[in-house]
């Protein structure tokens, strides 16, 4: 099943629907790590595809302005690449007032604690609200994450899933780029670097004034 997005290149629509992406060129990580290197702010939803094995594939047109180093782009480029994310084990997806071709404003990922899952299972296993297979899959997850994508219109998508994800980065013409983080500095280190540079500048200025 495919939802969200329109005006996609033919190769993207076909690859997303049939999962014919070259995952051997992918990079394995998790959302918490990913969000420390790449921002999805001002990026566009393209497709969300669900399959019968509980895998979900997200395709997003990644804002190259906010991710120049990751996309290897200059200031003036209009050629934004497509970020393809495979989530191998999805437990649930919730769509809340999502519009077509919506723009992402913010993202978050939290780890659901084992204690919370145990309490939930205790309460709900006597209920017919979810199929029995859901609880088994929930128990089998080593780490349960809830990842949220907020859009600029107040809607959001929340995905409950195992922590592992796979990334691909593909240009408009179908050329695969390196999706790893080795060429960029994480956001938490950038703040330290900027503070160090500021202190260095002030120190030089102070020495000149002495």
Cβ-count burial 175-200 (b if 16+ within 10 Å, e if not): ebbebebeebeeeeeeeeeeeeeeee
Which of the 8 DSSP states describes residue 164?
Answer: E
* pTM of the predicted structure, to 2 decimals: 0.84
Over the stretch 42-71, which tens digit does the pLDDT of each residue have? 999 988 988 888 899 999 999 998 998 898
pLDDT tens, 145-187?
Answer: 999 999 998 899 999 999 999 999 999 889 999 999 998 999 9
Q: How far is CA 20 from CA 23, 125, 174, in A?
A: 8, 38, 12
Give the SS3 label for residue 171: coil
Which among 81, 109, 8 is positioned nearest to 49, based on CA atoms? Answer: 8
């Amino acid at each position: 099943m495919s939802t969200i997005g329109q005006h996609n290149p033919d190769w993207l629509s076909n690859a997303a629907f049939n999962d014919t992406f070259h995952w051997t060129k992918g990079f394995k990580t998790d959302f918490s790590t990913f969000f420390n290197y790449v921002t999805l702010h001002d990026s566009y939803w393209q497709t969300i595809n669900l399959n019968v094995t509980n895998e979900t594939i997200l395709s997003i047109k990644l804002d190259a302005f906010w991710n120049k180093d990751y996309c290897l782009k200059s200031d003036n480029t209009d050629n934004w690449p497509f970020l393809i994310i495979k989530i191998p084990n999805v437990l649930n997806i919730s769509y809340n007032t999502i519009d077509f071709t919506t723009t992402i404003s913010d993202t978050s990922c939290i780890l659901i604690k084992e204690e919370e899952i145990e309490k939930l299972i205790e309460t709900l296993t006597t209920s017919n609200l979810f199929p029995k297979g859901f609880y088994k899959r929930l128990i089998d997850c080593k780490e349960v994450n809830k990842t949220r994508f907020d859009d600029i219109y107040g809607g959001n998508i929340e995905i409950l899933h195992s922590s592992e994800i796979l990334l691909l980065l593909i240009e408009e013409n179908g050329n695969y780029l390196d999706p790893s983080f080795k060429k960029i500095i994480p956001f938490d280190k950038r703040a330290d670097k900027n503070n160090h540079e500021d202190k260095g500048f002030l120190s030089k200025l102070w020495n000149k004034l002495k």
